[in-house]
Amino acid sequence: MESGLMDIYNFPWVIYATDGSKGSTGMGAGFYRHDTKGGGCCRVEGGVGGGSSGRAEFAAACLALEDSLTHDQPIAVLTDSKGLMTVASNWVGEGKDPLLQHSPDGDILARIIKVLHQRVSLGLFTMFIKIRAHKGEFLNEKADRWADEGREDIDNVRWDGPSLQPTFSWTEEGVEHRCSMNKTLRTRVHLKVSELQLPLHKNCTSEFLNREDNSRDLLGKHWQDKIVPDRSKRRLLQSISHQFPCAKLLKLWGLRDSDECRLCKSLHPEVTPWPRPESLGHIQARCLALQKPRIAVHHGIWRELPAAISRNSVESHDDGTKKWYFPSAVSEATHDEWTVRQILVHLGMFPEIKSLRADVTEFHAQQGIVLTDVQITSFYSLRPDGIAFDDKNKHCVLLEFTRPMDSVSSSAEGD
């Protein structure tokens, strides 16, 4: 708001302008009083536990309010701090019960509220007005000069004691840090507790968290993405931490009498008891009733993956040509599946099919597996989920999309 357009200079009140200053030498707070053409200032410390970026602005407003107790006139306090106006509004109106301990500058705010209570008890009017900063406002520039002077005034230091908040300290790479509780510190505490607790547990979740190169950085970005619904984030976290509310866990928690899968039981009521419990692995990979939707979801995800892999493949040959070719990645809406026979034809290996057949038979024989002619022939009709060719070097990579619970070595139930 422009003070000139408000005709602020002709207000029949005492006009104060406040401002804070922050630089390499510290913080300063100052105010300018228009009727006396004077002002005041002080150096402001962060206090043990630090404060917000607007701490100096809070201090400047407090100085002006303290000066207002020297007379009995209504006042208007001009400030360019939106943060001050926002915080002050928390104590205005009925039905509000804010706590100073939640404010990083609660030590200064407590003094501001006390002075305001004194003015109210004396029947004195107080108004805060937000003005634009660094726009050549005469009053704001005057207050800014007082604030700069206060920053260098080492003999007049205020609010250098502990804040009203608990203070936490820790040492990292030889450097000691101190601050009050905030969102960043809370995240660090949770991370440190997790790191200390992880070695104490031996289960699927701890095994996953200790495993390297599992795209956990992408999981973090997924949880921070505001576009992703909270329900999806919650389900993903439940799945990774093995807290998904399936029948097996509900029985373990005492919320169900049976861990049988009700969908499978409805298809085969004659099977009693059901051989496998309803775990997350059962829902994702084995439930008979969910076979069609499971396949549909599988294909839906896979249609996007090959296209994304192809789009982000940056490997190239020495001549600059792209190394990998993805014939199955038609688009994100559809994909093409090649049979083993088509792959062999593309690689030019089909004329040697007899020797290849012998190699396949010999390989399985070494494993103690005897293949029939029908099994060997059906092998050529198999269709991997996706393929990538390096035609120059005659390389072929088979791509398979596997759900997390398709194969789990650590649990017979697949959870």
Tell me the two tokens of residue 226: 């505001």
Query: What pLDDT is attached to residue 409?
Result: 45
CA distance 45 to 59: 10
Query: What pLDDT is attached to residue 60?
Result: 93
Neighbours of 228 (CB within 10 A): 13
Pairing type for strands 75-79 and 126-130 reads: parallel
Query: What pLDDT is attached to residue 413?
Result: 46
Torsion sign, CA atoms 280, 282, 286, 287: negative
Query: What pLDDT is attached to residue 162?
Result: 64
CA distance 114 to 83: 19
Query: What pLDDT is attached to residue 88?
Result: 72
Q: CA 88, 93, 97 angle in degrees (round to 5)? A: 75
Q: Which amino acid makes up residue 278?
A: E
CA distance 309 to 315: 12
Enumerate domains of the chain plus CATH numbers. 8-158 (3.30.420.10), 183-282 (no CATH), 293-399 (no CATH)
User: Helices 138-151 & 55-68, crossing angle to 10 degrees?
Assistant: 110
State the burial class of residue 272 (Cβ atoms within 10 Å of its Cβ: 0-12, 13-18, 19+). exposed
Task: Per-residue pLDDT tens, the chain, 415 aa: give them.
Answer: 566 666 777 788 899 999 998 887 788 999 999 999 999 999 998 755 555 668 899 999 999 999 999 999 999 999 988 888 887 777 666 555 666 666 777 788 888 989 999 999 999 999 898 887 767 788 888 999 999 999 988 888 998 876 556 777 888 888 887 777 778 888 888 888 888 888 888 877 777 777 776 667 778 888 888 899 999 889 888 887 778 899 999 999 899 998 989 898 888 888 877 778 898 888 888 888 898 888 888 888 888 888 888 888 888 888 888 899 888 777 767 777 888 888 888 877 666 666 777 777 887 888 888 888 788 778 778 888 888 998 888 888 988 877 554 444 444 444 4
The answer to whether 261 and 413 have CB atoms below 8 angstroms apart is no
Query: What pTM was estimated for this model as a whole?
Result: 0.46
Tell me the two tokens of residue 361: 């038979």
Query: What pLDDT is attached to residue 406?
Result: 46
Residue 156 DSSP class: S
Q: Which amino acid makes up residue 200?
A: L
Query: What pLDDT is attached to residue 407?
Result: 45
- The SS3 assignment for 325 reads strand
